Amino acid sequence: QVQVVESGGGVVQPGRSLRLSCAASGFTFYTFDMDWVRQAPGKGLEWVAFMSSDGNSKYYADSVKGRFTISRDYYKNTVYLQLNSLTFEDSALYYCVKNREGGSLESWGQGTLVTVSS
């Protein structure tokens, strides 16, 4: 069955970097778009980044553009999110999500927690 499993979260100081990983299985990885979505404690969902199935299109939320980078490794069936210049406002549970054709967010992982703390 479809699975996406995030990892790489942790506690990091402001201004530092972190790389999140999302291991995908159970579907043809190179044919589906992927997103990262985050959720601060007690808050709603905030879209972070999108990458098309072929890797040619990448889009970012204004709040992270220039600091975060999405990428994917087609050999490892893995999506990455590089987080640079982290701020307190970046503290959240980060979800990796497989898209369904048509743009809906079909399969969500359990998330990996990023805490920015001094």
Partner 1 sequence: SIVLTQPPSVSVAPGETARITCGGNSIGTINVHWNRQKAGQAPGLVIYNNHDRPSGIPERFFAYNSGNTATLTISRVEAGDEADYFCQVWDSISDHRVFGGGTKLTVL
Applying CB under 8 A, the residues found at the interface with partner 1 are 35, 37, 44-47, 50, 57, 59, 61-62, 95, 100, 102-111
Q: Kindly tell me which of 1 and 118 has the beta carbon lying closer to partner 1.
A: 1
Alpha-carbon gap, residue 102 to 110, rounded angstroms:
23
The least distance separating partner 1 from the CB of residue 17, rounded to whole angstroms, comes to: 24
- Cβ at position 75, least distance to partner 1 in Å: 26
Cα gap 11→44, rounded to integer Å: 21
CB of 15 to partner 1, least distance (A): 26
Q: Which is nearer to partner 1, 13 or 102 (CB)?
A: 102
**Residues paired with 51 in a beta bridge:** 34, 58
The minimum distance between CB 13 and partner 1, in angstroms, equals: 27
Rounded distance, CA 41 to CA 47, Å? 15
Nearer to partner 1, 104 or 117 (CB): 104
CB atoms within 10 A of CB 46: 15
Structural contact between residues 38 and 48, judged by C-beta atoms closer than 8 angstroms: yes
